[in-house]
């Protein structure tokens, strides 16, 4: 009982443990004959394994150490943790770019789903990092396209003095140049006091 305490009800650890025990005990088909879930299934496999308690204990201790070592690599998935939509996007990307690996898996809904998926795949660490890097890039591109909705690009020719003023103001208020221009336009659209005055001044100067 003490040796199985680390196998919690957490879905990820039970799935990983079940898979490893099935391989090590050569009882890979047992889950088809017993309607067991969570940690009950790996425990049942050990119960029917025709080995003495010493070997079962050793297997559990070895697995616990392997599990701890396995989890040290979780930092590679940290980017997905704060937003389940990233995991859902990863499912879409993988079905398009690594379809065979997704066969038999259910679409990701949560961060835990993506951890369980990568636990099961035969991807090397380098391949995982490559795919995750591409998923991040795809996500950034999607967000960029979403942010462009309702916006259009314009090219303006500004005087050197205007550019210098724009750079200084953007730096002072820590906003982008585009955002600063938007703020100035919004303010003038609401108050309409600077532009008419400037135009009148320009016209007077031309007349004189």
Q: What is the mean pLDDT of each run of 10 residues along the chain (208 residues)?
A: 87 92 78 70 87 92 94 93 94 92 89 94 90 94 81 76 87 85 83 75 64
CA 123 to each of CA 101, 111, 127, 166: distance values in angstroms, whole numbers, following the listed order: 9, 18, 6, 49
> Is residue 195 included in any domain, yes or no?
yes
Domains contained in the chain, number? 3
Identify the domain containing residue 187 by its residue range: 160-207
Q: List C-alpha distances in Å: 105 to 109, 124, 158.
A: 12, 19, 56
Let me know: does 21 contact 42? Beta carbons within 8 Å.
yes
Per-residue confidence (pLDDT) for residue 181, from 0 to 100 = 84
| pTM of the predicted model as reported, rounded to 2 decimal places | 0.67
Please give the pLDDT value at position 13: 93
SS3 of 82, please? coil
Residues 202 and 173 both lie in one domain: yes
Residue 147 to residues 39, 57, 135, 140, 166, Cα–Cα distance (Å): 45, 56, 18, 10, 23
């Amino acid at each position: 009982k003490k040796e199985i305490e680390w196998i919690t009800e957490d879905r990820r650890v039970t799935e990983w443990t079940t898979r490893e025990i099935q391989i090590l005990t050569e009882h890979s088909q047992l889950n088809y004959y017993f309607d067991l879930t969570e940690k009950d299934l790996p425990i049942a496999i050990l119960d029917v394994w025709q080995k003495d308690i010493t070997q079962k204990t050793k297997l559990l201790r070895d697995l616990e150490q392997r599990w701890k070592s396995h989890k040290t690599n979780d930092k590679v998935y940290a980017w997905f943790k704060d937003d389940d939509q990233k995991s859902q996007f990863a499912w879409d990307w993988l079905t398009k770019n690594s379809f065979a690996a997704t066969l038999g898996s259910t679409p990701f809904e949560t961060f835990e789903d993506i951890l369980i998926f990568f636990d099961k795949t035969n991807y090397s660490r380098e391949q995982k990092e490559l795919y995750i890097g591409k998923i991040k890039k795809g996500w950034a591109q999607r967000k960029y396209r979403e942010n462009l909705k309702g916006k259009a690009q314009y090219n303006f020719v500004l005087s050197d003095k205007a550019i210098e003023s724009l750079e200084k103001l953007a730096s002072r208020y820590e906003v982008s140049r585009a955002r600063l221009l938007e703020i100035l336009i919004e303010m003038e659209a609401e108050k309409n006091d600077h532009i008419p005055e400037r135009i009148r001044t320009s016209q007077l100067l031309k007349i004189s």
